[in-house]
Structure formats: C-alpha cells, structure tokens
Chain A
Amino acid sequence: MRSDLIDNAMAVSGACIRCLVYTILALPAVLVIVSSFTSGETMNFPPAGFSLRWYQKVWENDLFMSALWTSTYVAVLVALVALVIGFASAFAINRFSFPGKAFLQGLAFSPLIVPAVVLGIGLLQLFAGLGLTRTIYPLLLGHLVLAIPYVMRTILASLALQQRVLEEAAMNLRATPLQVIRRITLPLILPGLLSAAIFAFVTSFGNVTVSAFLTYGGKVTLPVQIFAYVDTSYDPLVAAVSSIMILVTLSVILTIERLIGAERLA
C-alpha cells in the first residue's frame, strides 16, 4: 500500500522532471526559430508579424552564405576522414593486443579533457610555424581531433556488440581478412558507423571555440560568423541563420536515421 504510494509519487515526479528538462533543452531553439519569422526589425518574442524577409536577407548576404558553405564542406570532410581513422583505430583496439594500446586509447580520448580553446591556440601556433594558416588543413585537423573521440567510442561500442563468430564463419567459408571486413564486419556495424558520422558532422558543424582560431584565407565557419555578427549587431538575421543551422543539423540526423531504418527493414 505504502510502497504503491511511493512508487506513484516517484513516477509522477519523474514525468514532471522529464518534461521540464525537455522544455528547457528545446526552449532556446524554439524561441530562435519562432522569432526568425518576424516581420519587424528587432528580435522579439512573440514576433511582430510573420515574414520570410530575414531568410531572404541571409540568402543575399555573401558572408553568411560563404560561411554556411565552408561549414558544410568542412563538416562533411571531417565526418568522412574521422570515420576512416576512427574505424581503423577502433578495429585495432578491439581486435588486437599490442604495446601502447592503452596509451593509444587514452590519447584518442584526451581531446575531451583538454579545453578546446587550448587546442585552438595550440593548432594556430603549430600551423603558423608551418606556414599553413591560409589552407583548410588547420580547421580540418582541429575538428578531426574533436570528432575522433566520439567516432571511436561509437564504433568501439558497435564492434564490442558484434558477434565474432560471424567473422569466423566467413573465414571458414574461405573469405580473406579483407573480404571479411568488407562483407561482414562493415555491413553489420553500419548503424554504428552512421551514428558516428552524425556525431562527427554535428561536432564540426557546431564548433566555435576551435574554429575561431583556425579561419583560413579569410573564410570562417558559420558559428564563427554568427559570433562575429552578434558582436556588432543584434537583429533577426542571426535568428534566421541560426534556424538554418538547426535545420541542417536536424536534417542530417533525420536522413541518416531514415537510412539506418531502411537498412534494417531490407
């Protein structure tokens, strides 16, 4: 009787807290998206009227459009490269024991511990010394360092869940190690690979702290451009750009989830 009462109270308060957390998490994004459709000159909530004029302004703004392109380009590249490096190292860590394995694992996760600002400054100094500050490499490398820990973690988890006996069966059926990876290992951890790619893309696409130091050839990423813009002016243009960012991120996640879903149904 009494424990029923406690159970019920726990369930109700749990539901309330969950609602509260979700609301607080989603509220800023919702506010930004709603106020981006304003027809007025200032950021207000509720917005004054409805129009797409700020989206048109973004479209016409070369700085923002070029930054959006740079961000997307860098994020896609980072996702692809992080996937290759992440899979290779996760596979090695999962399958083999070799000297320095624990060190490699620790090294891969260390970017989570080092503050991103420190990383940014360090990379800036390094590439300035190498004379490569006008190339895309510093930005790519900085984002890769941030993305690889997530990618490795996700792929390591997938590999740990995978049944090794399937690979043995493939080898018994005369498949060479490379054929086993291509036809058995990779297809079976595909969901893990895709979510790792999402992690990498989102990490790169949303990053400010490292990107701020590593602009190249006058090009900046979208979050850095937003940051710079807000420093001088505060109008609904920023809300519209931010909404576009949210849209890009969400559509990447949803597309890949659909892909995984479709893969599982097939």
Chain B
Amino acid sequence: MLNLSKDRETAVRDANEFVVELRSVSKHYGESIAVANVSLGARRGELLCLLGPSGCGKTTTLRMVAGFVEPTSGTVSINDIDMTRQPPYRRDTGMVFQSYALFPHMTVAENVAFGLENLKWARAEREERVKEMLRLVELPHLAERLPGQLSGGQQQRIALARALAMRPSVLLLDEPFSNLDAQLRVRMREELREVIRGVDVTTLFVTHDQEEALTMSDRIVVMNAGRIEQVGTPGEIYEAPSTSFVAKFIGWCSLLDGIVDADGTFRSSGGLCLKGNWSPGPGTAVIRPEQIRLFSHGAKGVAQNARVLQSHYYGGATRLLLDVNGEQLTMQDRFPFGRHPKVGDVLNITICIDDMRMISAAPS
C-alpha cells in the first residue's frame, strides 16, 4: 500500500533527538497519584507504546502530552520547546481518540478539513490535502458521508486521516482498537502500522493489550501504578523483563520464587530444581509456556513428570496447567488430533532453561 522507507530501523537508532520528551512528570489528583515522576522520550519517527493495566497512568500521560491534563510537576516538551503550560490548540499533536470523536454534524471531508481550516490553509490546498488523506486511508468514496453512517473500522481510519492531515510532529493514539471486534482489530492494527510507517510520524500509542504493543511498537514503556516499570524494544520486554510485573503482564508465564545456589542451580520455594548457571542469590524464575516441551529422547534437559491440572483447547494450540514437583506451570503446545492431554494425565516434559529469565530480587 505504501512505500516503507528503507533502512528505517537504522534511522530510528541513529536519530537521538526526542520529538516528545517528558521530564520527571507527575500528576496528582488530590491525594491520589495518577502519574509519578515519569521521564520518557520518543525519537523522530519512532512508534513508542505506553503499555499497562487500566489505571496505570498511561492515558493520563498521553493526555498531558496532548495538553488536556496539566502536570502537577515536571515538563513536557515537543520539538525541544517547553509545552507544559500551553493549551492543546497550540501543541503540534494529532490525536486519535478511543471513541474516534468524529464530529457527527460534519461530513467525513469536513471532519478531515477541520484542523486545516483552523491552521488557515487556503481552500484549494485544503481540498487537495483532504483527498490525499482519504486516499491514504483508502476511503475516498466516503467523503460526503456522515460519521454515523460509517462502520467502526471506517470511523477509525477517518479519525486517523483527520489527525494526520495537519502533518503533526507527533501522533497520539489512545487505545485506538478497543472499540473494534477481535478480527477487525488485528487487520486495523496492521493497516494502521503501515500508514504510520508510510508517513513516518513520531507516534505515542496507549494500550492495555500486550499483543498490540509487541506487534506495533519500536519501543514499549511498561507502566504500573503511575510509574515506569521498564522501557525497551518488544524483544527486550518479552525476553528480558526486569521486574516480575513486566514478566507477568507481557504474555503468559509462570513465576517461581526461589534461591540460586552457589553452583548456579535454582531451587524454587515449592521444591522444583533447575540446573543452570545463574548468579547466586534470591530470585524469581520466569518460565514462558513455550519453554516447556514434551520430552523426547536425545533432547537437551532433564525429563520431569508433570500432572495435568487444567487443559484449554485454543484451536491452534492447547494450553495446559501442570503440576511439576509441587509447582504450577503453564505450558502451550500443539498436540496431534485425538491426543490432547486430559486432566489427570501424567506427561513427560522438559523445561528449556537456555533463554530462561531470572529476575534477581532487588538488593536491599
């Protein structure tokens, strides 16, 4: 659909300037603290995702960038200009709202043109830009419709066209897929990503859906209770979570508390023993479902007996809750038709420790 700029990833890595930067930003509502001392920056052309459970402060953070919420302390700058006290209409942002917020009394074309009119674009240029934006989101035939006559997916694309029409320095997306059904959500995700890559706009994106964050982002900021837990690429966040909250929030996993012996062997408090070479001390082992496999001869690792506690069939895969030496672990695999493990079955499994993450307890 669009030309993806080549060498984009290197460009992102090299460009170190922040288009949006938050420095020690906090927001208090009376006694309650919505955002606590958050510092982050989005590099030029980067798709930065704020991920966390509801109430973690991610939307408040986004709204502070847009200017709808004034921080209690700290600064928000866009293109290196301090915007902390500027009203929303003086900030160079384009936002797609969770409910899309299309103006119901204006046609699609009028909606897309609204920002351009306020920016005092000449009529001819405005009309040209509206056409261009509608072509970009592949809905040029809907220009004269009212928003109420559009489907959810169409409304979302028009909201994106409206936000991008002004060529904002930063695009803000607030849970843009939460109002779409599951299948449409995946399709729109891919489309949106492609459009954003095509116009190469710096994007701040808020979601509570880890899959959305992993597939769409250049970097992810995981937030919890108003604070940043970890910032990193999707790979880093998934493979090397730095806290048990991140490990648990990003994808399924089993967390085992225990101690690593002097010889590098991990012993869980429940009694499970894993031979490895982790650094000694108390720690939490993060075991992803795909790290548990059925044991086959010749494979690395030690065979363990596991009793099936729960079995959930997901079509492409089956997710099992296993009892391994007194610890409960989640496993996911595809089993041949007719050979799905049942509750009570005993399987011979092996736990692949090669890329297993050990979170050391914070030194006190």
A interface with B by C-beta (< 8 Å): 163, 165-166, 168-176, 179, 183-184, 187-188
Which residues in A have their C-beta under 8 angstroms from that of B105? 187-188
Whether B89 pairs with A171 at a CB distance below 8 angstroms is: yes
Partner of B118, one of A165, A166, A175, A187: A175
Q: How many angstroms from the CA of A175 to the CA of B106 in the assembled complex?
A: 15
Identify 10 residue pairs between A and B in the complex whose beta-carbon atoms are under 8 Å apart, listed by A's number.
Answer: A166-B101, A169-B102, A170-B114, A171-B87, A172-B88, A172-B95, A173-B89, A174-B119, A179-B118, A188-B105
Whether B118 pairs with A169 at a CB distance below 8 angstroms is: no
Which residues in B have their C-beta under 8 angstroms from that of A187? 105
A174-B103 contact, Cβ under 8 Å, with A165-B97, A168-B97, A169-B95: no
Residue of B at shortest CB range from A179?
B118
Whether A169 pairs with B97 at a CB distance below 8 angstroms is: yes
Residue of B at shortest CB range from A175?
B118
Which residues in A have their C-beta under 8 angstroms from that of B94? 172-173
Whether B162 pairs with A173 at a CB distance below 8 angstroms is: yes
Which residues in B have their C-beta under 8 angstroms from that of A171? 67-68, 87-89
Whether A173 pairs with B97 at a CB distance below 8 angstroms is: no
Besides A166-B101, A176-B89, 19 new A-B residue pairs in contact (Cβ under 8 A), listed by A number: A163-B99, A165-B101, A166-B103, A168-B88, A169-B102, A170-B103, A171-B89, A172-B66, A172-B94, A173-B89, A173-B94, A173-B166, A174-B119, A174-B166, A175-B89, A175-B114, A184-B103, A188-B104, A188-B105
Q: How many angstroms from the CA of A170 to the CA of B111 in the assembled complex?
A: 10
Whether B162 pairs with A165 at a CB distance below 8 angstroms is: no
Q: How many angstroms from the CA of A183 to the CA of B118 in the assembled complex?
A: 11
Q: Does B115 contact A (CB under 8 A)?
A: yes
Q: How many angstroms from the CA of A166 to the CA of B292 in the assembled complex?
A: 49
Q: How many angstroms from the CA of A52 to the CA of B23 in the assembled complex?
A: 82
Q: How many angstroms from the CA of A170 to the CA of B104 in the assembled complex?
A: 12
Residue of B at shortest CB range from A169?
B101
Q: Does B244 contact A (CB under 8 A)?
A: no
Whether A163 pairs with B115 at a CB distance below 8 angstroms is: no
Which residues in A have their C-beta under 8 angstroms from that of B87? 171
Partner of B68, one of A163, A166, A168: A168
Whether B118 pairs with A173 at a CB distance below 8 angstroms is: yes
Q: How many angstroms from the CA of A172 to the CA of B63 in the assembled complex?
A: 11
A163-B101 contact, Cβ under 8 Å, with A169-B95, A179-B118: yes
Q: How many angstroms from the CA of A172 to the CA of B114 in the assembled complex?
A: 10
Which residues in B have their C-beta under 8 angstroms from that of A165? 97, 99, 101
Q: How many angstroms from the CA of A26 to the CA of B68 in the assembled complex?
A: 52
Q: How many angstroms from the CA of A165 to the CA of B88 in the assembled complex?
A: 13
In chain B between 78 and 95, which residues have their CB closer than 8 angstroms to a CB of chain A?
87-89, 93-95
Which residues in B have their C-beta under 8 angstroms from that of A188? 104-105
Partner of A173, one of B68, B99, B104, B115: B115
- Chain B 105-125 interface 0/1 with A at a Cβ cutoff of 8 Å (1 = within): 100000000110011000000
- Chain B 153-184 interface 0/1 with A at a Cβ cutoff of 8 Å (1 = within): 00000000011001000000000000000000
Which residues in B have their C-beta under 8 angstroms from that of A176? 89, 118
Partner of B93, one of A163, A172, A184: A172
> Distance in Å from the Cβ of B104 to the closest Cβ of chain A?
7
Q: How many angstroms from the CA of A248 to the CA of B227 in the assembled complex?
A: 64
Which residues in B have their C-beta under 8 angstroms from that of A179? 118
Whether A174 pairs with B99 at a CB distance below 8 angstroms is: no
Q: How many angstroms from the CA of A175 to the CA of B95 in the assembled complex?
A: 14
Which residues in B have their C-beta under 8 angstroms from that of A172? 66, 88-89, 93-95, 163
Which 6 pairs, one residue from A and one from B, show the smallest C-beta to C-beta distance? A173-B115, A169-B101, A174-B118, A171-B88, A172-B95, A165-B101
Residue of A at shortest CB range from B94?
A172
Whether B101 pairs with A174 at a CB distance below 8 angstroms is: no
Task: Count chain B CB atoms within 10 A of each CB in A165, A169, A175, A184 and give the residue with the most.
Answer: A169
Q: How many angstroms from the CA of A173 to the CA of B118 in the assembled complex?
A: 7
Whether A168 pairs with B104 at a CB distance below 8 angstroms is: no
Residue of B at shortest CB range from A190?
B105
> Distance in Å from the Cβ of B361 to the closest Cβ of chain A?
44
A168-B119 contact, Cβ under 8 Å, with A173-B162, A173-B166, A174-B89: no
Partner of A169, one of B67, B103, B119, B166: B103
Residue of B at shortest CB range from A176?
B89
